[in-house]
């Protein structure tokens, strides 16, 4: 009786909540790990797409300005481009206010003219259907000569579609959506598992710091726990903004919550000019000159090339810098091709575009300039590492040496018996 009274209470194990959370955290992680790693890695790479594209442009971005020579018009430069690169079709161009900047054309390889014809040229393996392969070409704006090209545009197009749909269309988009939901659950579950049962000096050190002088398995465990905690809030935020883009129901709820129109594109058509064969459209030069005057701080101008003559709306951007999906200190707008004026859409249509672009900027780190990109990149690296460090934790526990486990068990039993003898 005396022994029973003096026996210390048995150390309580994990709570039921933590046991269930731990089981879910493990198996959901194993099921979705490869998908999550692929999605987070591709998203992380995309963050610095503008800087990498500019780097790939190299010296072709600049030219030596000749004396007493005017710049060729966009129409003349596009004609020169199609003459020199006849197998490609331009879909937008970038021109710059600086005299020493080259003229940039975004283009895609042309699809076969007639897919049903027996003698139709089959698409090359590098092409993905009628879209073709994207590329940037740089032209000397004074001579019209192509001075360089890069397929970095195609690379980031592929990266973006790996991130959004694993290059597997609607099925891939569904898989990515499910994996993103699982990752969100994993983040919340990770917080529950990370939370110490009692807060004291030891648990605080374990929870917030990586212990030095430990073996790789313990270091890996600390990396997973500590970095996982520090990246939790931004990772949740990035995941939520991604889910808003992935699921139409969340997109619509977000639009409604912030005053945007769900069917903005249908409403917008009512305010766009009708095609009139008798009216003459403004030239590209008119648009370039007009927008540089309207936005004197702008250094770069981008204009989409309409697919056919019946298109009445030109998409133009004027800003200090225009990237693949970003712009700095400027404006993106839909304009009337006959007048050059911005089309005045209803407030809810304008809000739709603002909300859509804001959500994208928050997701990829464009919200805070270079700081926002670096911050998002670091969070992306941590999120990419979580499936790897988590798998290594599971693999290490699964493959522990039976002999070592027995030795650890004997040590714990010896300590317990020694402690009991001291009490008696």
11, pLDDT greater than 70: no
Q: In what order do the strands lie in the sheet with 134-139?
A: 146-150, 134-139, 103-109, 88-96, 300-304, 313-322, 327-336
Average confidence (pLDDT) over 373-386: 98
Q: What is the mean pLDDT of residues 365-370?
A: 94
Higher pLDDT, 119 or 28: 28
The answer to the question of residue 310 being in a domain is yes
**Domain count for the chain:** 1
* Residue length of the chain: 424
Query: By percentage, how much of the chain surpasses pLDDT 90?
Result: 78
Bigger pLDDT: 124 vs 187:
187
CB atoms within 10 A of CB 203: 13
Query: Is the residue at 357 inside a domain?
Result: yes
Q: What is the mean pLDDT of residues 241-261?
A: 96
How confident is the model over 42-73, as pLDDT tens digits?
A: 999 999 999 999 999 999 999 999 988 899 99
- What 387-391 contacts at long range (C-beta under 8 Å, 24+ apart), as own/partner pairs, is 387/29, 387/32, 387/33, 387/34, 387/36, 387/37, 388/37, 389/220, 389/221, 389/223, 389/224, 390/29, 390/33, 390/224, 391/29, 391/30, 391/33
* Residue 148 banded pLDDT, cuts 50, 70, 90: very high
Is residue 273 domain-resident? yes
Alpha-helical regions (H) of 284-346: 284-294
- Would you say residue 182 lies in a domain? no
Would you say residue 422 lies in a domain? no
pLDDT band at 112 (very low <50, low <70, confident <90, very high): low
Q: What are the b/e assignments for 8-29, b being 16+ CB within 10 Å?
A: eeeeeeeeeebeebeebbbebb
What confidence score (pLDDT) does residue 113 get?
A: 63
Which pLDDT value is given to residue 204? 87
Q: How confident is the model at residue 404 (pLDDT cuts 50, 70, 90)?
A: low
Nearest CA-CA partner of 260 in 193, 356, 134, 157: 356
Q: What residue numbers bound the domain in which 366 lies?
A: 252-373
Q: What is the mean pLDDT of the chain?
A: 89
In which band, very low, low, confident or very high, does the pLDDT at 201 lie, cut at 50, 70 and 90?
Answer: confident
What pLDDT is stored for residue 417 in this prediction?
Answer: 52
157-174 pLDDT, tens digit per residue, is 999 999 999 999 999 999
Instruction: Report yes or no on 346 lying in a domain.
Output: yes
Predicted confidence (pLDDT) at residue 412 exceeds the cutoff of 80: no
CA distance 413 to 63: 78
Beta bridge partners of 300: 96, 319
Give the pTM. Answer: 0.86
Is residue 300 a part of any domain in this protein? yes
Instruction: Check whether 340 has a pLDDT greater than 50.
Output: yes
Q: What is the pLDDT of residue 68?
A: 81
DSSP string, 166-206: TTSHHHHHHHHHHHHHHHHHHHHHHHHHHS-SS-SHHHHHH
Which helix H or strand E contains 107, and what residues bound it? strand 103-109
Rounded Cα–Cα distance for residues 269 and 6 (Å): 83
Range from 88-92, 108-112, 244-248, 286-290 carrying the lowest mean pLDDT: 108-112
d(CA 181, CA 31): 13
* Domain membership flag for residue 272: yes
Question: Would you say 139 and 105 are in contact if contact means Cβ atoms under 8 Å apart?
Answer: yes
């Amino acid at each position: 009786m005396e022994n029973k009274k003096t026996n210390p209470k048995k150390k309580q194990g994990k709570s039921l909540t933590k046991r269930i959370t731990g089981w879910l955290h493990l198996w959901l992680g194993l099921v979705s790990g490869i998908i999550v790693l692929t999605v987070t890695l591709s998203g992380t790479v995309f963050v610095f797409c503008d800087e990498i594209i500019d780097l790939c442009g190299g010296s072709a971005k600049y030219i030596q300005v000749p004396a007493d020579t005017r710049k060729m018009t966009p129409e003349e430069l596009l004609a020169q481009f199609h003459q020199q690169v006849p197998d490609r079709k331009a879909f937008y161009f970038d021109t710059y206010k600086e005299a020493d900047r080259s003229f940039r054309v975004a283009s895609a390889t042309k699809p076969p003219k007639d897919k049903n014809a027996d003698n139709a040229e089959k698409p090359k393996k590098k092409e993905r259907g009628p879209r073709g392969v994207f590329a940037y070409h740089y032209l000397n704006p004074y001579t019209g000569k192509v001075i360089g090209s890069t397929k970095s545009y195609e690379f980031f197009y592929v990266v973006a579609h790996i991130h959004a749909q694993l290059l597997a269309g609607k099925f891939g988009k569904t898989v990515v959506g499910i994996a993103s939901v699982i990752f969100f659950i994993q983040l919340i579950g990770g917080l529950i598992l990370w939370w110490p049962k009692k807060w004291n000096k030891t648990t605080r050190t374990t929870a917030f710091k990586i212990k030095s002088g430990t073996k790789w398995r313990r270091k890996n465990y600390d990396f997973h726990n500590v970095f996982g905690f520090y990246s939790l809030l931004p990772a949740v935020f990035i995941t939520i903004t991604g889910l808003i883009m992935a699921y139409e129901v969340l997109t619509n709820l977000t639009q409604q919550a912030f005053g945007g129109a769900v069917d903005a594109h249908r409403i917008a058509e009512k305010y766009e000019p009708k095609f009139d064969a008798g009216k003459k459209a403004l030239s590209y030069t008119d648009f370039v000159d007009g927008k540089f005057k309207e936005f004197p701080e702008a250094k770069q101008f981008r204009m989409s090339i309409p697919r056919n003559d019946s298109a009445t709306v030109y998409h133009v951007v004027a800003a200090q810098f225009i990237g693949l999906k970003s712009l700095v200190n400027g404006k993106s707008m839909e304009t009337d091709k006959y007048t050059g004026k911005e089309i005045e859409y209803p407030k809810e249509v304008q809000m739709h575009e603002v909300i859509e672009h804001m959500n994208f900027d928050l997701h990829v780190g464009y919200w805070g300039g270079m700081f926002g990109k670096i911050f998002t990149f670091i969070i992306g690296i941590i999120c990419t590492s979580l499936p790897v460090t988590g798998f290594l934790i599971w693999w290490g526990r699964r493959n522990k040496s039976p002999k070592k486990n027995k030795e650890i068990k004997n040590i714990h039993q010896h300590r317990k018996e020694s402690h009991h003898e001291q009490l008696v």
